[in-house]
Amino acid sequence: MNIKELYYYHDLVRTKNFSQVAADFNISQPTVTMAIKRLEESFGTTFFMRDRSHHQLTVTSTGLQFDQHVQRIIEELEIAQKELARAKQERISFGLPPIIGSWYFPRFTPALLQAGLLNQLEVVDHGSASLLQLLAKGELDLALLGSLQPFQQPSLRARVIDKAPIRIIVAKDHPLAAFKDGVSFAQAAQYPFITLDDEYVHAQAFRQAARLARVRPKIVFKTSDVQILKALVANHSGISFLTDLALDGNDGLAALPLTDGSQPEFIISLAARANRLLTPNAQRLWSILETPLYK
């Protein structure tokens, strides 16, 4: 079996046209026909039904099933090409979500400087959901990711390295700030919310808390910028739902725990593809990031 034949096969399933496949790969139509014939003979089945009178091509059920496997093979081959090309480089493609990058990752910089790794990082700055997709596609060596639950995907090598509570965030002189022992989500939902965009884990935590409290909070503004969110909350434009990892003493904000029962947590995990063999530099980075640090 020739790898190119798998690409021809998948394109034929997509287009159902031999001439189109030939044009897509700049080859002759008989080359495509013979490639498909060899595949069918190798597996002892028929992948396509040809209706010559109506010039129609139909993919059989076994053909569709085989294409599912072909797509995975092609995807893994493309990932392998990216990873092998990057293995020749010393630089590390490193995913870093904004909150983790701004308020958590800096504590590792002294160790990374000492190890000579800080200037080897090519940082990709996106929300955790987007970074998880980039990891799956082989476009990142490793990443720090935020989540509400530990990652369990077999395709992922992940280790929880820290956790931080997600709290109701208000201005220090907001009426809710008087409830220092905490508030219920339903109580907080009486006020308008400013939230982070959907690519943030916080959006998922917000929806879950609202569903459990059986309320529909009013959202007056969404943003992808945590600093803007905090400034708006401090100026009484609304309240928010944010990990206290992103807070410091100069924000003019108060963080209130939820009294509804289970307190949502912002889980920080170190992650890479399970079958990704890290370069020596990437492995050194992994070792530093998984080492517990005093806060």
The enclosing domain of 237 has a CATH number of 3.40.190.10
Q: Which domain holds residue 61?
A: 3-87
Choose among 9, 129, 104, 117: nearest CA to 65: 9
Which pLDDT does position 53 carry in this prediction? 66
Q: Is 142 found in the same domain as 8?
A: no
Q: Is residue 294 part of a domain?
A: no
Q: Is 251 found in the same domain as 173?
A: yes
**Identity of the amino acid at 24:** D
Which pLDDT does position 73 carry in this prediction? 87
Q: Is 181 found in the same domain as 111?
A: no
Q: Is residue 295 part of a domain?
A: no
Q: Is 277 found in the same domain as 131?
A: yes
Q: Is 260 found in the same domain as 167?
A: yes
Contact 12, 32 (CB under 8 A): yes
Q: What is the CATH number of the domain that holds 78?
A: 1.10.10.10
Which pLDDT does position 102 carry in this prediction? 92
The pLDDT of residue 295 is above 60: no
Q: Is 128 found in the same domain as 83?
A: no
Q: Is residue 249 part of a domain?
A: yes
3-15 and 18-25 helices, crossing angle to 10°? 130
Cα 156–chain centre separation: 11
- Which residue, 58, 87, 116, sits at the end of a domain? 87
Instruction: Report pTM.
Output: 0.72
Q: Is 41 found in the same domain as 101?
A: no
Show contacts of 203-206: CB within 8 Å, 24+ apart. 204/148, 205/148, 205/166, 205/241, 205/264, 205/266, 206/241
Mean pLDDT throughout 201-216?
Answer: 93
Q: Is 155 found in the same domain as 279?
A: yes
Q: Is residue 246 part of a domain?
A: yes
Choose among 16, 155, 168, 134: nearest CA to 145: 134
Q: What is the pLDDT of residues 61-113, one digit of tens each?
A: 999 999 999 988 888 787 777 766 665 666 899 999 999 999 999 999 999 99
Mean pLDDT throughout 4-8?
Answer: 90
Q: Report how many helices (DSSP H) and strands (DSSP E) the chain contains, helices first.
A: 11, 11
Mean pLDDT, the chain, integer: 90
Q: Give me the number of domains the chain comprises.
A: 3
Q: Is 183 found in the same domain as 112?
A: no
Q: Is 188 found in the same domain as 52?
A: no
